[in-house]
Amino acid sequence: MKKIFNSINFWISSVGRSFAREWSLVLKDIGVLLFFLALPLLYPIAYTLIYNPEVVEQLPVAVVDNSRSAKSREFIRQASAAPAIQIYGYADDLAQARRWVHSGDVYGVLFIPRDYAKNLGSGRQADVEFYADMSLLLRYRALLSALTELQIKITGDVTMSRVEQAGAAGTISMPINSSSNFLGDTEQGFASFIMPGIVILILQQSMLLGITFIGGTSRERRLRNGGVDPLRPDSMPVSADIWGRALCYTVFYLPMTLYVVKVIPEMFSLPHYGSAVDYLPFLLPMLIATAFLGQALTWFIKERETPFLIIVFTSVVFLFLSGLTWPRYAMSQVWYWAGNLVPATWGIEGFIRINSNGATLAESSRPFIAMWILSAIYFIAAWVVVAAIRRRARRQSAVAVPATDRHD
């Protein structure tokens, strides 16, 4: 029993020594501090400033008014009052309006047919055609939303006018009465949509960059010292060494996490409904899984500068796999399962539920459990890598010592 107790005590003390050693290495390395501090601090600000204001406004639209009536002019007046629409000018025909679209002067065309006023006045359906530039869906969505609201308003006005003309008996009624109930924030713009996912990906990628940077530096020290890293001695158990490093990175990133998920939304008035009691514990396994993943990736790091290539390449791939740009359920099975292996994928999914829809930690249990599973998988991978690095270092050291003796 005493032997078991001593082993546990030695393991825990090894974790503490590994933590303290790694903490010292981080604080003494300016490059790592830039990755661990500057990227999480500055990138969210830069991204949010780019996407503010959140709502697309004053999109130029051409008008082809073949009706040339008071009713068509009223329609155009109400359309120009919409925040998303700016009337660029009146085209003589659709051909001229299309030329404006192709030249980039306008993003849409309103076409009012000749019989618009006649049909509207006689109680028949009046058509208005809209042609849109589909090269950017965000613009199309803004224009379509504005015109849909305008259509509903005009329909309501016309219906009320006909009811009044029918008299108090109210013989005219709407055929369908519907109501809409929206979940989450109905006023969200593009920054509110994209930033919750982006900040989680920034946390993961900046941590991976810093950890692999440290790994590359350690590899260079081993090459200079016959396979031995004097700042990372191999005198402690592999598992304790890995956990000590992971806890160091995680503790370092906890205030960064609070900053990007709490301070940034408040700084830029972005909607956030979840509680820190839910999203901070939720993101803890993502940080731990990322810390283990970073240690596993050090096997591929040959020098200090190598992480730049790896992280820059994977950042775009991880963004696509996260489901922010394309729903994950619509991906092929290969890419779907590849996305499951990325801690930020689950972090983004759960954090958006908590932050944007006010879900609790219990209601986000699926991604929460998935991140703990990834933590276990990447701990095993990190153990294999660190153990292999130690074996390689011992072989290099054994070769270097006899060579030195012969030289002497």
Note whether 300 and 394 are within 8 A (CB): no
**What are the φ and ψ backbone dihedral angles of 89, each rounded to 5 degrees?**
170, 175
Residue 177 has pLDDT above 50, yes or no: no
pLDDT at 18: 92
pLDDT in tens, 162-172: 555 555 444 44
Structure tokens at 25: 């290495």
- Mean pLDDT (the chain) is 81
- Dihedral of CA 37/40/44/47: which sign? positive
Structure tokens at 74: 């009223």
Per CATH, which fold does 59-166 belong to?
A: abc type-2 transporter like fold (3.40.1710)
CA angle 343, 348, 349 (to 5 degrees): 105
Residue 129 pairs with which residues in a beta bridge?
Answer: 111
Confidence of residue 12 (pLDDT cuts 50, 70, 90): very high
Q: Which contiguous run of DSSP H or E holds residue 78?
A: helix 70-81
- Three-state secondary structure call for residue 156: helix
pLDDT at 242: 95
Q: In this predicted model, which residue has the larger pLDDT, 271 or 267?
A: 267
Residue 408 has pLDDT above 50, yes or no: no
Residue 343 has pLDDT above 90, yes or no: yes
Highest mean pLDDT among 176-180, 273-277, 302-306: 302-306
Q: Would you give the DSSP letter of residue 87? A: E
Rounded to a whole number of angstroms, the distance between the first and last alpha carbons of the chain is: 49
pLDDT (average), residues 323-332: 83
Note whether 116 and 139 are within 8 A (CB): no
pLDDT (average), residues 350-363: 84
Give the CB-side neighbour count of residue 390, counting CA atoms within 13 A. Answer: 16
pLDDT in tens, 67-93: 888 888 888 888 888 777 888 888 888
Confidence of residue 180 (pLDDT cuts 50, 70, 90): very low
pLDDT at 381: 96
Structure tokens at 21: 């050693």
Residue 179 has pLDDT above 60, yes or no: no
Highest mean pLDDT among 49-58, 136-145, 342-351: 342-351
Structure tokens at 40: 């999480």
Structure tokens at 155: 């329909």
CA pair distance 112, 130, nearest whole angstrom:
9
CA pair distance 105, 101, nearest whole angstrom:
6
CA pair distance 8, 3, nearest whole angstrom:
9
Highest mean pLDDT among 53-62, 175-184, 313-322: 313-322
Q: In this predicted model, which residue has the larger pLDDT, 64 or 223?
A: 64
pLDDT at 399: 67
Note whether 38 and 254 are within 8 A (CB): no
Structure tokens at 66: 């073949």
Note whether 126 and 132 are within 8 A (CB): no
Residue 184 has pLDDT above 70, yes or no: no
Q: In this predicted model, which residue has the larger pLDDT, 14 or 307?
A: 14
What residue segments make up the domains of the chain, in order of their start? 8-52+188-407, 59-166
Least confident stretch, 191-195, 229-233, 312-316: 191-195
Note whether 197 and 348 are within 8 A (CB): yes
pLDDT (average), residues 349-366: 86
Q: For residue 155, what are the contacts with CB-CB under 8 A and spacing of at least 6?
A: none
Q: In what order do the strands lie in the sheet with 59-65?
A: 85-90, 59-65, 108-112, 129-132
Note whether 146 and 76 are within 8 A (CB): no
Residue 349 has pLDDT above 70, yes or no: yes
**What are the φ and ψ backbone dihedral angles of 184, each rounded to 5 degrees?**
85, -160
Highest mean pLDDT among 130-144, 170-184, 297-311: 297-311
Least confident stretch, 5-14, 95-104, 281-290: 95-104
